[in-house]
Amino acid sequence: MADAPTDRGRLTRRRIVAAATEMVAEKGALGASLDEVGVRAPALRSQLYHYFDDKDDLLLAVAEATNDTVLGRQQDLLAGLHTWGGLSRWADALVALQQERGGRGGCPIANLLGQLGERDDIRAVLASGFDRWEGSIRAGLDGMVEGGALRPGTDVAWLASNTLASRQGGLVLSQARRDPQALRRALDGAIALIAGYRVAPPADEPVGGPPAPAGDRREPVKPDQDAHYHAQPWRNALRPNPFASTRRCR
């Protein structure tokens, strides 16, 4: 992979990678050809081979760009994960995107991993994307511990890993079922688990808790309904957690 020492060269390289990323999204890694990338960019074939050794080299750049795009679009939301409101806004935004897409599309990082994960170099790049994502979630939860929203000693690494896994699993179910609420339920469960480590309010303070998602329009729980399954899972999570005092606290 050749460097692009000039502004013009960097622009050309970015244009090629962007075109390749679009083609892979549309046709898959195997279906996207260098000729089609050149037309889409546009770029001469000589330019393609100036910046990339071959198609495999270009796909490695696509993996790096995919990580940056997925995380870049969430940057502001991830920066706010140190509060209950920020955690709720992040979850709402992920669900809203799936609602706009009708449950289609899936996660670009996971999609590329499914196609090219047997290539160790690309797998490592995509794994680093998940590591960065999980690290951002962990940083937010660390902030909640430092700010007094979560109990000292809470295993934020475990909670962050669970939250990202819930996001990915919920997204797969949303894609398979064309049902964005599958992602909503998965994220609700992850945040309910986090809320189980919430610092208890003083005895004279009204019981509150993390806000319900702004986009949640489900009906209030009726007395004869199973409150664990229906809306407001965070409120349920404020009930005593028999495992919270013995598990996942350092």
**Quick one: pLDDT at residue 240?**
41
Q: What is the DSSP letter of 198?
A: B
With 70 as the cut, is the pLDDT of residue 244 above it?
Answer: no
**Quick one: pLDDT at residue 49?**
95
pLDDT bucket at 30, cuts 50 / 70 / 90: very high
Average pLDDT, the chain: 85
The CB-based long-range contact list for 199-207 (8 Å cut-off, 24+ gap) reads 199/148, 199/149, 199/150, 199/151, 207/238
**Quick one: pLDDT at residue 238?**
44
- In order of their start, the domains of the chain are 1-53 (1.10.10), 66-237 (1.10.357.10)
d(CA 128, CA 124): 6
d(CA 48, CA 56): 12
Q: What is the average per-residue pLDDT within 191-199?
A: 96
Give CA separation, 174 vs 78, 93, 104, 156, 166, in Å: 22, 15, 8, 26, 12
Cα angle value 184/188/192 (rounded, 5°): 175
Collapsing DSSP states into helix, strand and coil, what is residue 13? helix
Q: What is the average per-residue pLDDT within 125-131?
A: 98
- Tens-digit pLDDT profile for residues 214-234: 444 444 333 333 333 334 444
Closest residue by Cα to residue 235 from 220, 245, 248: 220
pTM score of the predicted model: 0.81
CB 194 within 8 A of CB 163: yes
Instruction: Centre a 10 Å sphere on the Cβ of residue 147 and count the other Cβ atoms it contains.
Output: 11
Give CA separation, 133 vs 44, 161, 229, in Å: 35, 10, 28
